[in-house]
């Protein structure tokens, strides 16, 4: 896969597909701008080479054709102005491929940046429409994909558009290259012991990743809602906790495979339980063998956190994907926050999968302590599953 450094871009008009899909609070303030900061290196690289730069991203899931302020990239552009410190040279277009964009693109000067409006205002983005791709491509000389977080989707700006450029005119940006190299290198040649910490809501969502990881890691720690399917598969009563009954056999197979391969497999030994999915009801911690009928497990307990800390003690490489509990409610966030601290404290290469897990590390104040925090949840999971990402395939096609 070529990177931006392999192309001759000086003075050219460059399209950079970014992932500016950043989380915001209820007042519309950006709560985590890592994805925007992650794109700066490629943008600056182009500006330093007198390029005219066109940036594009999706933001959440607006209804195509309906321009609602909430889905606009306006706030992102404000943040970009602050971060790039070139306030006057960045403009936001009013549309994606409409007259306003075309006029602004034609008037771009070297060292200026034009940000297109939310790509998903165009229906063709998610349907990988070639006509939309052609319209976007018609404005530029060079295509750069730096949107790791969107690379697992074959959308027009990720897939169809990339294929319209030859190998000398398309490449990965710095962020995309860094993300892919990190996962590839770590999975191909990890320093051992290599520990995978897997949590989140469902086994089904991470089944393939778990299967793949069993071939690579020395230890697996399971937490979050998915732990209950494994506990039930071992014969424990799990009350009303989240469970996927249809995957009990699969869970058993995974644990047997782990034993055969000598992979140490750890489940929570105690659980924070509550009678309802709520943070206003009384909760308590019980051993994993004593989850009361009609109660549900919403976080791992303190003994599990201590156990997992010991398990991580000698780790040299740690991959973490998925929270240990319902961390969105403070009452059930402790297990996830402690896991974040434990991983951050480990004397190891630490890789945090994106999305919720990165959010936990951020809340825990541990982001700077991790070796690498991915900007893509779904995309990083796909890499752990051993899948190729459509966005990367398109760059190689």
Alpha helices in the chain (DSSP H): 34-47, 74-84, 99-106, 123-126, 130-137, 174-188, 203-214, 227-233, 248-261, 302-312, 334-345, 356-363, 377-384, 390-396
Task: Give the interface size with ligand AMP as a residue count (CB under 6 A).
Answer: 15
Would you call 58 helix, strand, or coil by DSSP?
A: coil
> Residue 245 CB, nearest distance to ligand AMP (Å)?
15
35 annotated active-site: yes
Catalytic residue among 2, 34, 102, 202: 202
Q: Binders of ligand AMP among 345-384, rule CB under 6 A? A: 356
CB closest to ligand AMP, residue no:
200
Nearer to ligand AMP, 142 or 324 (CB): 324
The two three-digit tokens of residue 60, written as one number: 């959440």
The binder of ligand AMP chosen from 181, 328, 330, 388 (CB under 6 A):
328
Apex 276 CA angle, 271 and 277, nearest 5: 80
| Using rule CB under 6 A, residue 149 touches ligand AMP | no
Would you call 164 helix, strand, or coil by DSSP?
A: helix
Residue 236: partners with Cβ closer than 8 Å, 6 or more residues away: 288, 289, 291
Neighbour tally for 257: CB within 10 Å: 15
> Residue 124 CB, nearest distance to ligand AMP (Å)?
28
> Residue 162 CB, nearest distance to ligand AMP (Å)?
28
The binder of ligand AMP chosen from 268, 323, 390, 391 (CB under 6 A):
323
The window from 53-61, 177-185, 283-291, 322-330 that contacts ligand AMP (CB under 6 A) reads 322-330
> Residue 93 CB, nearest distance to ligand AMP (Å)?
33
Exposed, middle or buried by CB within 10 Å (0-12, 13-18, 19+), for 10?
exposed
Nearer to ligand AMP, 186 or 241 (CB): 241
| Using rule CB under 6 A, residue 198 touches ligand AMP | no
355 annotated active-site: yes
The window from 55-63, 64-72, 172-180, 197-205 that contacts ligand AMP (CB under 6 A) reads 197-205
Residue 298: partners with Cβ closer than 8 Å, 6 or more residues away: 272, 273, 274, 277, 283, 325, 326, 329, 331, 332
331 annotated active-site: no
Which candidate, 41, 49, 39, places its Cα nearest to that of 110?
49
> Residue 199 CB, nearest distance to ligand AMP (Å)?
6
> Residue 257 CB, nearest distance to ligand AMP (Å)?
21
Q: Binders of ligand AMP among 211-230, rule CB under 6 A? A: 224-225
CA atoms of 327 and 8, how far apart (whole Å): 46
| Using rule CB under 6 A, residue 200 touches ligand AMP | yes
Apex 389 CA angle, 230 and 325, nearest 5: 30
Q: Binders of ligand AMP among 237-256, rule CB under 6 A? A: 242
Residue 181: partners with Cβ closer than 8 Å, 6 or more residues away: none
Catalytic residue among 98, 111, 378, 386: 378
Tell me which residue has tokens 């976080």. 299
| Using rule CB under 6 A, residue 330 touches ligand AMP | no
202 annotated active-site: yes
> Residue 206 CB, nearest distance to ligand AMP (Å)?
7
Residues 53, 114: contact at Cβ < 8 Å?
yes
Apex 353 CA angle, 127 and 383, nearest 5: 55
Catalytic residue among 355, 376, 377, 391: 355
The window from 9-17, 93-101, 130-138, 200-208 that contacts ligand AMP (CB under 6 A) reads 200-208
| Using rule CB under 6 A, residue 325 touches ligand AMP | yes
> Residue 285 CB, nearest distance to ligand AMP (Å)?
13
| Using rule CB under 6 A, residue 297 touches ligand AMP | yes
Exposed, middle or buried by CB within 10 Å (0-12, 13-18, 19+), for 347?
exposed
| Using rule CB under 6 A, residue 202 touches ligand AMP | yes
| Using rule CB under 6 A, residue 298 touches ligand AMP | yes
The binder of ligand AMP chosen from 301, 322, 354, 376 (CB under 6 A):
322
Residues 358, 374: contact at Cβ < 8 Å?
yes
> Which residue numbers are catalytic?
35, 202, 355, 378
Interface residues with ligand AMP (CB under 6 A)?
A: 200-202, 205, 224-225, 242, 297-298, 322-323, 325-326, 328, 356
């Amino acid at each position: 896969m070529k990177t931006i450094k392999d192309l001759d871009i000086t003075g050219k008009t460059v399209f950079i597909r970014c992932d500016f899909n950043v989380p915001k609070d209820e007042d519309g303030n950006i709560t985590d701008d890592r994805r925007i900061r992650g794109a700066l290196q490629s943008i600056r690289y182009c500006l330093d080479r007198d390029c005219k730069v066109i940036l594009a991203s999706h933001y959440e899931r607006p209804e195509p054709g309906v321009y609602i302020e909430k889905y606009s990239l306006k706030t992102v552009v404000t943040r970009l102005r602050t971060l790039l410190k070139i306030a006057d040279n960045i403009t936001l277009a009013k549309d994606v491929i409409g007259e306003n964009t075309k006029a602004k693109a034609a008037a771009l000067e070297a060292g200026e940046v034009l940000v297109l409006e939310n790509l998903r205002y165009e229906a063709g983005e998610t349907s990988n429409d070639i006509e939309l791709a052609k319209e976007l491509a018609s404005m530029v000389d060079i295509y750069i994909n730096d949107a790791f977080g969107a690379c697992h989707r074959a959308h027009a700006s990720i897939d169809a558009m990339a294929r319209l450029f030859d190998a000398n005119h398309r490449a990965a940006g710095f962020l995309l290259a860094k993300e892919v190299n990190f996962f590839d290198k770590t999975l191909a040649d990890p320093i051992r012991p290599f520990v995978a910490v897997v949590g989140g809501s469902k086994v089904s969502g991470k089944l393939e990743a778990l299967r793949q990881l069993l071939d690579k890691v020395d230890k697996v720690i399971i937490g979050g809602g998915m732990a209950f399917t494994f506990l039930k598969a071992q014969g424990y009563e799990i009350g009303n906790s989240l469970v996927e009954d249809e995957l009990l056999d699969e869970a058993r197979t995974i644990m047997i495979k782990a034993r055969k391969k000598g992979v140490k497999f750890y489940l929570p030994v105690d659980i924070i339980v509550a009678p309802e999915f709520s943070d206003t009801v009384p909760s308590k911690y019980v051993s994993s063998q004593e989850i009361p009928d009609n109660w549900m497990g919403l976080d791992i307990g303190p003994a599990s956190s201590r156990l997992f800390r010991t398990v991580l003690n000698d780790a040299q490489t740690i991959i973490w994907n998925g929270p240990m509990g319902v961390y969105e409610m403070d009452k059930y966030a402790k297990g996830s926050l402690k896991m974040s601290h434990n991983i951050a404290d480990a004397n190891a290469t630490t890789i945090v999968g994106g999305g919720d897990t990165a959010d936990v590390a951020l809340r825990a104040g541990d982001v700077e302590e991790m070796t690498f925090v991915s900007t893509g949840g779904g995309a990083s999971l796909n890499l752990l599953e051993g899948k190729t990402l459509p966005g990367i395939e398109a760059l190689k096609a």
